[in-house]
Every structure is written in C-alpha cells, then in structure tokens.
Structure 1
Amino acid sequence: MKPTDPQDKNPEPGDGFAPSWLVSHSQIQSILATKGPRRRLWLKRGNQMEAVQTRQILECRDGVKLTGVHSRQPEGTTPRGLVVLIHGWEGSHESVYLYSMSCALYQAGYNIFRLNLRDHAGTHALNREMFHSARFGEVLEAITAVKALDATQPMYVIGFSLGGNFALRVALQGPAQGITPKLTIGISPSINPAATVRAIDTGPALFRLYFLDKWLKTLRAKKNAWPDYDFSAFEKIKSMWESTRHFAEHYTEYGDMQRYFDAYTITPQMLIDSPAPVAVITAQDDAVIPFEDFAGLAPRGSVKAFIATERGGHCGFIENLKMGSWAEKRVLELLAQH
C-alpha cells in the first residue's frame, strides 16, 4: 500500500478506506467520531475492557497529578503489549473515538491505559495551574508511571488530534528519558497548532462554535475549582485565534502566542528523524487539521507508515451505518507489523 503524497489531492485507490456515501461527508465523519453510538455497540458485543478497568492517579513531579484508566487482560493470558492512548483537546478517556479504539485493542489482546491530560475528565480541581498544550513533561512522567504500573512489553502510544501531538512528542523526546515506544501512532494529529487554530476559525462555523463552547465550559469548571481565577475576558471573544492569543499571553509561561505555538509544533522532518518509530493516519478532508501540514512526510526514516485517506474527517474513519471503524482495523495491522 503506497501512502498518499501530501502534494497529491487524488490518492491512489487502495488506501483501504471507502466509506458508505451515507457517512462519507467530512462533517458527518467528524461528528460520528465524538457522538456516535459505538460505545453501546461495544457493550453489546460483550467487551470486557470496562468491567476490569481500574482508575489510577499518576504522581508526577512538583505535586502534579494526572489520572487514567487501566485495563489488563485476564489472568493466565499473555498480553500482546501495552497501549497508552491519549485523547484530543477537551476529550477524555470516555471520548467515543478513544473508547472504541481501546475496546478494539483490548479485544485483540492488549493491555490498555487511557490517559487523561490535565484539566480533562473533570479533573480541574486536581492541579492548581491550568492545562496548556506545551505541558509535555508531565505527560511523559505520567507514562513513566504507567510503565511502572504495567511493565508489559512492547509498549505502544496512540493519540488523537491534540493527543496525537502529545503522542508523537513521546516518540521524539521520550527515548532520551527512558521511554521508547515500539511504535507511536498519531491519528489526525495536530502537528501545526497555528494552522489548526486558523482552520477552526475559517472552516465550518459548527466546529468553531463547538470548540469555543467547550473551552468556555472548561474555564468555568476551572474557576469553580479555583475561584481566584478570572476568565471573564473569554466570554466576549468570538474566535479561537483571539482566545488562544489571550490565553497564551495571560495564562502560560510563554507570554506570546507564537512562542507558545513553537513549543509544541512538530514538522514532518522531525518525524522522519525521530529516535523512535512513528506512524501517521490522517484524512485529506479534515476541516480541523490542514492536509498541507504534512507536506514532505513520507514513509522513510523513522516514519513506518503515512496514510492519508481521501475521506475520514477529523478522527472519523467510519465505514458504514454499523459504525465500523477503518482506523481501528488499520491500527491493529500496524501494531501487528511492529
């Protein structure tokens, strides 16, 4: 299977993803990624991941705590590996796209750890300082704690959207600190945050309103947990760009939006030169992650696979009305290959 060249808007047939026309539109794909009935479908199939899960609080440096949910394979069986999954911005371990992927991996024999980023999954009171996208150190420390909790090998890391950015940074920076995943997979990863924010503002209004509403809700939850915060300025801002600018200037150590973006921007060349193997799955019709961000990316060096489907939306890749997920099948193939 030859991955699509980012400069080629007409991918070769054979990328393997051919969704039913009923669910092929980018916005439908993106909505089904977060709102679809896949959770109920997995429960009907008798998946035991949730039945055996344990909730964990992971201790990081400087008193920082992150949470997650751990699901081991039944006693007496040998797991095929440990997979750490990271949700997207304003998601959680319960997000439909992550939950469904976790069920597929658990059913295939992997131990699962669904990691929550700071201020996600209702953890606003757990840490005084706010989450921001450049807080990578604590994520790597949390994965180190997961590794101590479950030493199953090999270990893989999978992230979606902003979580895909965090996951890919584990491959880029983890080996220097003793964390070297066998394979890291970014699904619809936001590697160019400035372009992502611009795309949200200039794309379908549905996405901009959705993300602004989610941001306001998390700011209100943070203020409820820590009343001395003042987020009143955000109530009047109507664009993600201006919200991000105000946030970077007043609530991060960077004090400047470009410096903030630079702190977690990933280039295709960085992935090719990564000290640990990576794979990227994205869709050319993603309204949140511009396809141009991947220009120059190819399956060489540390990039073991670069798969750019013609359709799929943002974290979607839904095949049909039965909610079959092409991405889950492809991820299982990638893990088996590595």
Structure 2
Amino acid sequence: MSDFAPTGLLQNPHAQSILASTGLRRLRIYPKARAMINASKTVILDCGDGHQLLGEYAAQSKRSKGLVTLIHGWEGSSQSSYMLSAGGTLFHAGYDVFRLNLRDHGPSHHLNRELFNSARLDEVIGAIKTIHQTYPHEWQFLAGFSLGGNFALRVAAKADEAGLSIRKTVGICPVVDPAKTMMALESGWWVYEKYFVRKWQKSLQKKIRLYPELGYKDNLLKLKTLREMNSYFIPNHTPFTSIEDYFKAYNIAGAALETLSSPTHIIATQDDPIILAEDFSRLATNEHLHIETKQYGGHCGFVKNYQLESWLDERLAELINLNRYPSGDPAKGAHSQ
C-alpha cells in the first residue's frame, strides 16, 4: 500500500476537510458507489427499550466476504459522500455493507421522540446486535468517521460485555476529547462552527415540527453558537446537568479503551483542524489497538489527487482484507503491503 502523500493544495488541511464532502467529489464517487446504492434497501432496526435506528443494507448477489457496518459523523448520514465512497469501495471489494444512521440523522427524526445526544451508546450497541443477528456473517467489521469513529471505538470496547463478535474496528479521525474538539471548533476557522450550527439547527427544526411538545422552538431561534446551543440543550434535553459532565460521558481518553478485545485500528492526521493529534497519546495502551497517523489529510479528508480519489477508502479495504487474510496473499483478495 502506498503511503498518503498529497501535493500542492492538497497538503492544506482545510482543503482536505472540505474537498472530501464537496458536490464535485460526490459526482466522482457515484459511478463507484452505484452498485452498492442500487443494491441498498432501507431498514428500521429495533435497538431495545423502544428505540429504533435507520440504516441501509446492501448485499452481494453472490457470496460475500463479510459485513462491514459504517457509522457517519455528527450531522452526517448514510448518504454522506464519505459514506458512499467508502461503502462503494468495500462493496466492490466483495463485502456486504450496512450504513447506519445515528438517531435524528438522515431521514430518521420520526423514529424516536427524544433528541439525539452522543452519550446514547446503548442504542447503537443495540443496533449493531440487531444487524449481526439479522444479517449473520462469520466476518463482522465496524468502521466509523469522526463522531461515528468515537461510537465505533466505544462499541468495540463494550463488545465482550454486549456479546458482540467484531473481527476488526476502524476509527477514522475519531473524536477523543469532546471538550477539546468543541474548543477547536470555537477557536479555529469560523467556517467549521458555522457549518455545524447550521446543520444542527436544521435537524432540530425538523425534529420540533414532528414533536412540538419538546418545547424548544422559540429558544432555538435565539441560539447562534455551538456553546449557546450546548448550554441550552444539554441540561434541558439530556440526563446531564452540565456541559462538562456530558462531554466526559463520551470521552475515550484514559481508560475507556482498556477493554478492547479484538483488532482495532485508528487512522488520524497530524493536521486535523478539529481533532487534535496530541489527544491520541492519551488513549489507553492496549495490545489490540494500533494508531496510524498521517502528516496530512485534514479531518476525514485523505483526498490523494486532483481527480478527488480517496486514499482512505483503499486503506480501509486493505485493513479489512488483511484481517481476513493475515498473510496478505493478493490471490485471496488482500492487498500486499
């Protein structure tokens, strides 16, 4: 596998972070993802305790190599460009693909009355269990992007306790310390905070139209920053009384990943404008955890050339193939290293 070595403008972290999700790249992605999209069917998952999540399942017409479940980032969805790109690559490589929507992401706002928050790990574990039971495969894989990477790593750390068998988990630019990520959004290039404020407000507006009894419609109009939105919604619509307690609930620094019991791989960048590279040194030491850090790539970017092709998709397929075929025998479908 060649290293990720972008040139020129593609060494800029903001260019990487933005190009990965542009409409132009989506046009480039579609031909590769078309087979997966055409094979996909929408599925409502019973996650236990009356909760439901929405996803899209694409099965091979012939025998598959295994099932890869993908989890998007905050305010993304199963239809996000990076989800289609990675899913299309994995489907082309012979895997079934399940693209999971977190609560209130994608067209799923109607399924649950209560709002999404990042501490809702139990329902994601419940969703993964239902996926594995409904679509049994000998080889089950899990991968997530940004906040979805944080969820994937927490699921992997709870896998034994939950009775899940996951062959490998991959977290791409996962959120490690939510408080530091929020500070980076607030103090960094204003485009990122405005992007998430706009997306979150749009999602909350959709939710309040479905459930007006939640009662935040008038307050939402007054909230202009992520700090203001967190200060209102955390004490009023989560079990947490403070922002600090909420962020601690899904912080994976320290001991959170000590219980990992299966191969787990993190792909991160040194120039991520949202997730600080220094945070990865604070993760628990675990024989199953490997951290791969690239000099460039921005936040979930990894655009390798001006044709907007993704190095990340190739790397993700390689990591999963190598878990199936540790010898790296290309004749068996793995990439050589």
Fold shared by both chains (TM-score > 0.5): yes
| Residue of structure 2 equivalent to 1:197 | 182
- Tell me the alpha carbon deviations over residues 165-217 of structure 1, each in whole angstroms, 9 at most, x when there is no partner: 11001110122111131111110101211111111001100001111111111
In structure 2, distance between residues paired with 1:236 and 1:279: 41
Given that 1:212 and 1:238 are in contact with CA atoms closer than 8 Å, whether structure 2 keeps it comes out as yes
| Residue of structure 2 equivalent to 1:160 | 145
In structure 1, distance between residues paired with 2:25 and 2:259: 36
| Residue of structure 2 equivalent to 1:220 | 205
| Residue of structure 2 equivalent to 1:282 | 268
Deviation at 1:47?
4.0
| Residue of structure 1 equivalent to 2:157 | 172
| Residue of structure 2 equivalent to 1:256 | 242
In structure 2, distance between residues paired with 1:98 and 1:243: 27
**Higher RCO (C-alpha under 8 Å, 6+ residues apart):** 1
In structure 2, distance between residues paired with 1:46 and 1:139: 25
Deviation at 1:155?
0.6
| Residue of structure 2 equivalent to 1:135 | 120
Aligned counterparts, 1:33-44, within 5 A:
33-44=20-31
**Residues 310 and 252 (structure 1), Cα distance of their counterparts in 2 relative to 1, 3 Å cut:** same
Q: TM-score, normalised by structure 1?
A: 0.90
Counterpart pick for 2:85 among 95, 100, 112: 100
Q: TM-score, normalised by structure 2?
A: 0.90
Given that 1:272 and 1:301 are in contact with CA atoms closer than 8 Å, whether structure 2 keeps it comes out as no
| Residue of structure 2 equivalent to 1:72 | 59
| Residue of structure 2 equivalent to 1:52 | 39
In structure 2, distance between residues paired with 1:238 and 1:122: 24
Deviation at 1:53?
0.9
In structure 1, distance between residues paired with 2:43 and 2:125: 16
- Tell me the alpha carbon deviations over residues 261-290 of structure 1, each in whole angstroms, 9 at most, x when there is no partner: 111110165435522321100111111111
Aligned-residue CA RMSD in angstroms?
A: 1.9
In structure 1, distance between residues paired with 2:5 and 2:123: 39
In structure 1, distance between residues paired with 2:32 and 2:211: 42
Task: List alignment gaps of at least 5 residues for structure 2.
Answer: 324-337
Q: Which amino acid aligns with 1:267?
A: A
| Residue of structure 1 equivalent to 2:332 | none
Q: Which amino acid aligns with 2:197?
A: L
Deviation at 1:24?
2.3
| Count of paired positions | 322
In structure 2, distance between residues paired with 1:298 and 1:145: 29
In structure 2, distance between residues paired with 1:238 and 1:53: 37
Aligned counterparts, 1:112-127, within 5 A:
112-127=97-112
Q: Which amino acid aligns with 2:194?
A: L
Aligned counterparts, 1:139-150, within 5 A:
139-150=124-135
Deviation at 1:146?
0.7
Given that 1:88 and 1:163 are in contact with CA atoms closer than 8 Å, whether structure 2 keeps it comes out as yes
Deviation at 1:324?
1.2
- Tell me the alpha carbon deviations over residues 231-279 of structure 1, each in whole angstroms, 9 at most, x when there is no partner: 4334333332332232211110112212111111101654355223211
Task: List alignment gaps of at least 5 residues for structure 1.
Answer: 2-13
- Structure 1 window deviating more from structure 2 (176-185 vs 33-42): it is 33-42
In structure 2, distance between residues paired with 1:195 and 1:43: 35
Given that 1:273 and 1:301 are in contact with CA atoms closer than 8 Å, whether structure 2 keeps it comes out as no
Q: Which amino acid aligns with 1:243?
A: M
Given that 2:255 and 2:284 are in contact with CA atoms closer than 8 Å, whether structure 1 keeps it comes out as no
Deviation at 1:337?
1.8
- Structure 1 window deviating more from structure 2 (116-125 vs 101-110): it is 116-125
In structure 1, distance between residues paired with 2:90 and 2:246: 34
Q: Which amino acid aligns with 2:87?
A: S
Given that 1:298 and 1:306 are in contact with CA atoms closer than 8 Å, whether structure 2 keeps it comes out as no
Aligned counterparts, 1:242-253, within 5 A:
242-253=228-239
Given that 1:54 and 1:70 are in contact with CA atoms closer than 8 Å, whether structure 2 keeps it comes out as yes
